[in-house]
Amino acid sequence: MRRSAWRFLFISSDIRNRILITLGLLILYRFVAHIPVPGINRAAIEGVLAGSGQGQTFIGLLDLLSGGTVSNFSVLAMGVYPYITAQIILQLLVPIIPALQQRMEEDPREGRKWQEKWTYYLAVPMSALQAVGQIRIFQQYAIGFGGSILNFPLGMNVPTFTTLLTMTAGTMFAIWLGELISQHGIRNQGLSLIIFAGIVSAIPTNLGQIFMSDTQVLPLILFVTFLLVMTIFVIVIVQEGRRNVPVMYPGRRVGNRMSMPVKGTLPLMVNMAGMIPIIFAQSLLTFPAVLAQFFIGSETAWVRDVALFFQNTFGGFSNTYWIMYFFFVVGFTFFYTDVLFTQQNYGENLKRSGAQVPGVTKGAATQRYLTRVLRRITLPGAVFLGLVAIMPFLVGLIWPIGGSNTGLLLVSSSGLLIVVGVVRDLYRSIEAELKLRGYDQAVLVR
């Protein structure tokens, strides 16, 4: 009888140590997440969080992006998202600037090292910029709750150097923990697990607040439970969807004989981008509202009006926000899928191995054919991601759950997609580690 290799999970000392290191670093991350930034006015922060309207919903979104640390205004209040924003900027620049694209094509390995190095460099100023914007957002909504979120004098509406330095250092510390997890813990899952830990810790509280906001508790519990179960079911179906493209692999010479060509398949995923497009779209849509905080107090009327427009549009979950959010997610799904698929260059790799898609010329023609197929099957995956992203808006049309809890429902929908995606990748990563060490399947005879 064959049994799963997972029963050997803690028998392998190497895998056991990696799991324990990962858990230890995540516990350390959650511990540091409760250390507040020095000089914060807790009364003002609590007043903003207890309020309602667009301020509370926008801060709820920032709380999701930071992994649940904004509500504490901790040293990790920005999470790892400045690093992800830096990745977005560099990935957008590579196809635009020919010199960068040539560097990536000539030596992909060195190109990735260069990109990682400059992502770290760019993450520092992005962290400082986001820290200023985040403090100003809280300051904007903190009027009436103590006057200022900082106990230090702001001077010309600029946070103190100590506060900015602490928040920037906290972000780099979170990135460093993610790298430690990828190197010494579960491979290549560090940043995903950092985000995962924050979302999982916040979901029970968010669902509890949604249930407490409605008088019809039992029908709401049944409705939200049904919604979550169906969402998980569809997420798994879409994430596991494949289009198997037939490929003929050349035969091998065995002695004086040549074996027949082998027919295989090349699986193309319906959603190759995973949950990254939602993270990208949230980061970019948050940025205009953060940037607008620098111009809210402008003495020029039209500058102030434009800043207020961006704040209300991207910080208040307006109808325009949801429409743009949907199209951003769909667009980023196609963009990120194309970037990943181009880097993998299946056309040249199949040509080097002598394999061929039946009826298609080897090399560049194969790459173009596979790209067309991938784009067609990516469409349903992209639309699905967009619908999950705007689920709070769609659910609000069916069952309004109160304006102040729209952001909480957003945490539960987009956060659920991230959680399911990370759990799936985590499962496959551990299973691959088990197979690599020979714990694939064990044959037991009763």
The per-residue pLDDT for range 181-196, each reduced to its tens digit, is 988 888 877 888 888 8
Residue 270 above 80 pLDDT?
Answer: yes
Q: How confident is the model at residue 157 (pLDDT cuts 50, 70, 90)?
A: very low
| pLDDT value of position 149 | 64
Contact 277, 333 (CB under 8 A): yes
Average pLDDT score over residue span 124-153: 69
Q: How confident is the model at residue 446 (pLDDT cuts 50, 70, 90)?
A: very low
Q: Please name the residue ranges forming H helices in 36-107.
A: 42-50, 54-66, 81-96, 98-106
| pLDDT value of position 24 | 92
All structural domains of the chain, each given as residue ranges with its CATH number in brackets, are: 1-214+410-446 (1.10.3370.10), 237-400 (1.10.3370.10)
Residue 332 above 50 pLDDT?
Answer: yes
Residue 209 above 50 pLDDT?
Answer: yes
Residue 258 above 80 pLDDT?
Answer: no
pTM for the model: 0.73
| pLDDT value of position 290 | 66
Q: Is 418 helix (H, G, I), strand (E, B) or coil?
A: helix
The residue with greater pLDDT, 184 or 68, is: 184
φ, ψ for residue 267 (rounded to 5)?
-80, 125
Compute the CA torsion angle 214, 217, 221, 224 (nearest 10 deg).
-20
| pLDDT value of position 442 | 46
Q: How confident is the model at residue 80 (pLDDT cuts 50, 70, 90)?
A: confident
Q: Please name the residue ranges forming H helices in 75-187.
A: 81-96, 98-106, 108-141, 161-184
Contacts of 176 (CB under 8 A, 6+ apart): none
Q: Is 25 helix (H, G, I), strand (E, B) or coil?
A: helix
| pLDDT value of position 280 | 76
Distance, in Å, from the CA atom of 209 to the CA atom of 168, rounded to the nearest integer, reads 31
Please report how many Cα atoms fall inside a 13 Å half-sphere around the Cα of residue 64, on the Cβ side: 27
The residue with greater pLDDT, 338 or 319, is: 338
The per-residue pLDDT for range 400-440, each reduced to its tens digit, is 654 444 445 545 566 777 778 788 888 888 877 777 777 66
| pLDDT value of position 269 | 87
φ, ψ for residue 80 (rounded to 5)?
-110, 15
Average pLDDT score over residue span 29-36: 86
Residue 215 above 60 pLDDT?
Answer: no
| pLDDT value of position 151 | 57
| pLDDT value of position 319 | 75
The residue with greater pLDDT, 365 or 399, is: 365
The residue with greater pLDDT, 396 or 382, is: 382
